[in-house]
Structure 1
């Protein structure tokens, strides 16, 4: 799906939901001032007219001098199309004739707000999370793009040199910046972009096209076991948010009705086991721990045995992240993987690399290092809401060809969201793209 298709889809979704609520508002506002008989909305007055004695209704009608009884009450309503219609209700209303009140009630029926489905509500919440979580990245990229285009006169070599600098500063990566610059040389000419907005659209559209091309064949879905427990191993440097990510993901799957087991295999970092244990208690899931400075592979062995015997659905394995002792760390990870594979041949089903988005290009370097040493299958990008470096997602896909599977868009448990490329692109570039129908 191209950039403009994404933006048009979001616009359509907004139009599907917004007219209903706006029509409802218009209907309510038009009913209040003109259809009051006894300071009630039209519908209420209609009902009271059909149930109250005629003398009561007549008395309340007589108390309003602006409405002559001889000509009746003239109601103005708005249809869904915005056209006004007039319904006259003469003496029949005063006599309590329910049939004359019926047109008013019927005309207000289309204005009732239709209930949204749970799926639509969930989609709206997800879009709002992406919108909020990417606000800093969107603002930062927008400021750089606007500054870059401030001195725009025409497309020449200086234009592309400045563009490359701007993209690198936006953390889209050196390779992505060079590739984008090269392809834009022809694209700007082909699309005959002359104004600042047109040039901006072309730049962002090409970025999205390159992003999609680099991710062909990738899936953001987790690889789940066909039978038995699904084993997911988490790797990454200390401080990237591995333990917190595991806790949030455990809560997510527990909410889905899965039986979740945690393995505290980061036995060397002070407080790591205690931190994961707090998450286990908070989520209401089980955990397997070992002695401090013990063998991580032993913890993994105990955990996978428990997961198999007690029919757990998912086993999350926390690991160490001491890059200053890289050789030993990689040996530990390899040993844990051998234990898992021996007990469950397809395990681990996923090796998720947790990266801190606030570190920008350092996160990209960490990803390259772990990819060389372990069989990383996907990325979890944390703390996106706290940084203006959301463009790192583009660099990860372009340079590493690893799918981003989850993103952290806030501090709450449910702010860890499954990665959605469409919502990400819309959240990152919203307000910077001008889409014509």
Structure 2
């Protein structure tokens, strides 16, 4: 696994209370982007990078083939633009991003006098990369002690699994982690988080039937008392249309702030990459309610379309810290605009 965290020097880890005996999980050396290195330059093994790119391309292969086939022997005319418009909309890029890309592409073709389909495709890749680049942001560790993360998402988005993967990544970067089972509405969520805690030898703050705000507060206090690096708080999955439940999330966020000034330091939303334009609606609703600091896009494999990132970039450009393409730990990796576009357009 390779990692993409920026990391500030942190104090020596304070031993934490042991969780139940962990299930051994194979680990590979993780690379770290530290604060004394240039931004956005991950140190990684070539074989690991190649493996990740292969899996990402496979995950986005359906959309990639639909887009790439348009440029095979194509003439640069209105028919090509019409087909490209349909393909982008089918890829969940949305009307706004699609119109933006087509307008910019037509202007570039005219200004640069592009005459063949390969050059037009290259121009589209450049424009899409530029559109997505503002979403690319390294996740910086060591800014607070502990750094408190509040993680939200609708049921089924892969929120709890993502928390487990992120916890493992952080441990690989020398961080001590505490998990809080704040999803008290779904018993399975608490049990699932406990399993991740056992696997990674991480303490999980949990109550069989408790107030999620109280659980979150206890976790922050525990993290401070133990001198830990990161406290990750799972919150109940819900639809953004469930206004009373969104108010509960706001309450949890306020109580976290009472537990530690300035917390939560990161408020993340986990999104299923297959939900299309509904994902954009989720970003808007959760951002309005919680002021999101970042996104994690999961399940970019199989039938994933991927174009929703372009829609997010145009309408609500919240940073995308990580993208996921599978169930394994190494299947969650930092979002890099150029890599994503290369996988999408080939």
Q: Do Structure 1 and Structure 2 share a fold, with TM-score over 0.5?
A: yes
Is 127-136 or 261-270 further displaced after alignment?
A: 127-136
Q: Residue 398 of structure 1 corresponds to which residue in structure 2? A: 314
Q: Residue 170 of structure 2 corresponds to which residue in structure 1? A: 253
Q: Report the alpha carbon displacement of residue 120 of structure 1 after superposing the two structures with TM.
A: 6.3
Q: How does 1:117-266 map to 2 (within 5 A)?
A: 122-146=45-69, 148-149=70-71, 152-156=74-78, 158-212=79-133, 215=134, 220-224=137-141, 226-266=143-183
Contact 1:129–1:415 (Cα < 8 Å) also in 2: yes
Q: How does 1:356-367 map to 2 (within 5 A)?
A: 356-367=272-283
* Alignment partner of 1:271 out of 183, 188, 204: 188
Contact 2:132–2:313 (Cα < 8 Å) also in 1: yes
What is the TM-score of this pair, normalised by structure 1? 0.65
- Alpha-carbon distance in 1 for matches of 2:145, 2:76: 61
Q: How does 1:209-358 map to 2 (within 5 A)?
A: 209-212=130-133, 215=134, 220-224=137-141, 226-292=143-209, 294-323=210-239, 326-358=242-274
Q: Residue 388 of structure 1: SS of its match in structure 2?
A: coil
Contact 1:225–1:349 (Cα < 8 Å) also in 2: no
Contact 1:253–1:260 (Cα < 8 Å) also in 2: yes
Q: Quick check: which has more Rg, 1 or 2?
A: 1
What is the TM-score of this pair, normalised by structure 2? 0.81
Residues 299-321 of structure 1: CA deviation (Å, up to 9, x unaligned):
01111111111111100000012
- Alpha-carbon distance in 1 for matches of 2:260, 2:92: 39
Higher relative contact order (CA 8 A, sep 6+): 2
- Alpha-carbon distance in 2 for matches of 1:403, 1:358: 19
Residues 154, 422 of structure 1: alpha-carbon distance in 2 compared, 3 angstrom cutoff:
closer
- Alpha-carbon distance in 1 for matches of 2:172, 2:73: 52
Residues 219, 187 of structure 1: alpha-carbon distance in 2 compared, 3 angstrom cutoff:
closer
Q: Residue 187 of structure 2: SS of its match in structure 1?
A: coil
Q: Residue 358 of structure 1: SS of its match in structure 2?
A: coil
Residues 324, 198 of structure 1: alpha-carbon distance in 2 compared, 3 angstrom cutoff:
closer
Q: How does 1:10-89 map to 2 (within 5 A)?
A: none
Q: Report the alpha carbon displacement of residue 259 of structure 1 after superposing the two structures with TM.
A: 1.2
Residues 368, 123 of structure 1: alpha-carbon distance in 2 compared, 3 angstrom cutoff:
farther
Contact 2:132–2:309 (Cα < 8 Å) also in 1: no
Q: Residue 366 of structure 1: SS of its match in structure 2?
A: helix
Q: Residue 274 of structure 2: SS of its match in structure 1?
A: helix
Q: Residue 39 of structure 2 corresponds to which residue in structure 1? A: none
Residues 277-334 of structure 1: CA deviation (Å, up to 9, x unaligned):
0111011100100133x21011011111111111111000000122277222212111
Residues 174, 314 of structure 1: alpha-carbon distance in 2 compared, 3 angstrom cutoff:
same
- Alpha-carbon distance in 2 for matches of 1:422, 1:181: 19
Size of the aligned set, in residue pairs, is 306
Contact 1:296–1:336 (Cα < 8 Å) also in 2: yes
Contact 2:137–2:319 (Cα < 8 Å) also in 1: yes
Q: Residue 3 of structure 2 corresponds to which residue in structure 1? A: none
Q: Report the alpha carbon displacement of residue 226 of structure 1 after superposing the two structures with TM.
A: 3.3
Q: Report the alpha carbon displacement of residue 162 of structure 1 after superposing the two structures with TM.
A: 3.1
- Alpha-carbon distance in 1 for matches of 2:56, 2:106: 33
1:420 aligns with 2:310: no
Where is the helix percentage greater, Structure 1 or Structure 2?
Answer: 1
C-alpha RMSD over aligned residues: 2.2
Contact 2:145–2:224 (Cα < 8 Å) also in 1: yes
